[in-house]
Amino acid sequence: MAQQQDMNDARDTYSGFISTLKWTVPLVAALVALVVILIA
């Protein structure tokens, strides 16, 4: 039973990580593009 709970916790953690990544990657890409435009 403990293994099933560990697996559920791992899925919850992974899901939160992916959700955060979905917002972070485009934000970082936009910031990088802005910096490149300002430098060029």
pLDDT tens for the chain, 40 residues long, are 568 889 999 999 999 999 999 999 999 999 999 999 999 8
pTM: 0.65
Say how far apart CA 9 and CA 17 lie, in whole Å.
12
Q: Which residue has the tokens 């919850």?
A: 12
pLDDT recorded at residue 2: 67
Q: What are phi and psi of 24, to 5 degrees?
A: -75, -45
For 1-40, give the DSSP string: -HHHHHHHHHHHHHHHHHHHHHHHHHHHHHHHHHHHHHH-
* Dihedral sign (CA 38, 32, 22, 9): negative
